């Protein structure tokens, strides 16, 4: 979904006559995926395709500081696209380092993270950032505890961004383009 959003944003900036840039990060700024500001449609396309083909292999989000430093200069519209499985400290770092810019946090949520689990049974989990697998004995109390912890973390991260950015927009499972457009035009969906 992140690459679909990047592609749509690139097309919108092209049509508006603005430049587009892509500063992906994990634990560091990903130079192999980076695209500096340009009007070039071909460069936009190539960068989005590199992002689409990328498979995360390094956990972390501390590269947000490097990305923010690369954005130095005039105020910019920054779309911060993530699942936001971040600690409160990581969200504060992002909020502080990007505070000068107009930040639009877009959360990508997969309903399978919580709703897709059975109440009982063995669940084979794979960390999308590290690729590591774990076998978990699922039960209703564990499922509910995960849901509560996930919601509490989401609320803390949202509070951090509410203080330094626009209201967070959540995309669950698929992009509702009309809802996203309404959010971007009116500031809420």
The CA distance from 91 to 62, in Å, is 10
Q: Is the pLDDT of residue 17 over 70?
A: yes
Q: Is residue 126 part of a domain?
A: no
Q: Is residue 74 part of a domain?
A: yes
Q: Is residue 6 part of a domain?
A: yes
pLDDT per position as a tens digit, 71-85: 988 999 999 999 998
User: What pLDDT sits at residue 29?
Assistant: 93
Q: Is residue 14 part of a domain?
A: yes
Q: Is residue 154 part of a domain?
A: yes
Residues in the chain, how many?
A: 189
User: What pLDDT sits at residue 128?
Assistant: 63
Q: Is residue 130 part of a domain?
A: no
What SS3 state is found at 41?
helix
User: What pLDDT sits at residue 59?
Assistant: 79
| CATH number reported for the structural domain that contains residue 61 in this entry | 3.40.50.410
Number of domains in the chain: 1
The pTM of the full predicted model, rounded to 2 decimals, is 0.87
- Token pair 């944003």 is found at 9
Which residue range forms the structural domain that includes residue 68? 2-111+148-186
Q: Is residue 129 part of a domain?
A: no
What SS3 state is found at 158?
helix
Q: What is the mean pLDDT of residues 148-170?
A: 92
Pairing of strands 35-38, 20-22: antiparallel
pLDDT per position as a tens digit, 37-54: 999 999 999 999 999 999
The CA distance from 123 to 141, in Å, is 14
Q: Is residue 141 part of a domain?
A: no
User: What pLDDT sits at residue 189?
Assistant: 66
The CA distance from 34 to 86, in Å, is 22
Q: What is the mean pLDDT of residues 22-28?
A: 94
pLDDT per position as a tens digit, 85-130: 898 999 999 999 999 999 999 999 988 777 778 889 998 887 766 6
């Amino acid at each position: 979904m992140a690459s679909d959003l990047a592609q749509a944003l690139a097309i919108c900036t092209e049509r508006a006559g603005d430049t587009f840039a892509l500063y992906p990060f994990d634990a560091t700024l990903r130079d192999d995926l980076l695209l500096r500001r340009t009007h070039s449609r071909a460069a936009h396309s190539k960068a989005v395709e590199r992002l689409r083909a990328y498979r995360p292999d390094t956990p972390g989000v501390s590269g947000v500081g490097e990305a923010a430093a690369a954005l130095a200069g005039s105020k910019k519209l920054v779309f911060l696209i993530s699942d936001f499985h971040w600690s409160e400290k990581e969200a504060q770092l992002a909020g502080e380092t990007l505070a000068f810019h107009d930040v639009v946090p877009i959360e990508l949520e997969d309903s399978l993270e919580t709703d897709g689990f059975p109440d009982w049974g063995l669940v084979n989990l794979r960390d999308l950032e590290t690729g590591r697998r774990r076998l978990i004995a699922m039960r209703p109390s564990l499922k509910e505890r995960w849901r509560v912890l996930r919601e509490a973390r989401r609320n803390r991260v949202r509070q951090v961004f509410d203080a330094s950015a626009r209201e967070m927009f959540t995309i669950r499972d698929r992009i509702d383009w009309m809802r996203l457009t309404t959010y971007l035009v009116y500031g809420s969906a």
